[in-house]
Each structure stands twice: as structure tokens, then as C-alpha cells.
Amino acid sequence: MGVAIMDIKPPMTKDQIVKASVISKKLGLYKTKAKVKPIYISDNGSIDTVLLSYDYYESMYKRIMELEAKEEEKILSQRIERLNINPSDAVSWKDIRRTGK
């Protein structure tokens, strides 16, 4: 059994969770701390914002784009394989454009 992606939460320690009111008074301090590990900003008892270093954000973004490209490639390969097996399932581009499906 696989783990549902949405069930996975990032590991965090108590010192990484900071109230929004504290952040507003000591932003410089927490910007510096966020360069080492993410800071989770809570508002009304719930985490609603994460403060990250730009380098970490950029690496996460790059990885997400790579994974999305791989997923698209996988989906397209599966579709091509299905059409090679059963060409009668093919739909013309004209029909797709017309219906939007």
C-alpha cells in the first residue's frame, strides 16, 4: 500500500513554529533562521504560511517542474501505447478543438 501524498507533512520542530504577531516584530531574525530551515507561521493556532530561503524555494520549484514533466511524458507514452494497440480509439485534433475534450 502506498502513502497518499496529501497525508505526508513536512517534519518540523517547535522552534520552527512562530506566531504571526511575533514574526511581524522580528522579521529580520526569522528571515535569517529561514535560511537554515523553514519557519512555519501560525495564525489563530493554525499554520498558514511558510517562510523559506529563496535558494530552497528555487530548488523545490525546479524539482516540481521536473516531476510534472516526467508525469506528462508518462501520460503521453501511455496514450501512444494505447493508440498503438487500438488505433480506432484515436480522435482527430479538429474534434478535440471543437468540443474542448
pLDDT for the residue 92? 81
pTM over 0.75: no
Cβ pair 83, 90 in contact under 8 A: yes
User: Which residues, in sequence order, are CB contacts of 41 under 8 Å at separation 6+?
Assistant: 18, 19, 20, 23, 47, 48, 49, 50, 51
Mean pLDDT by 10 residues, the chain (101 residues): 68 93 96 96 94 96 96 92 87 77 58
pLDDT for the residue 33? 96
User: Which residues, in sequence order, are CB contacts of 18 under 8 Å at separation 6+?
Assistant: 30, 39, 40, 41, 42
Architecture (CATH level 2) of domain 12-89: 3-Layer(aba) Sandwich (3.40)
Question: Domain locations in the chain?
Answer: 12-89
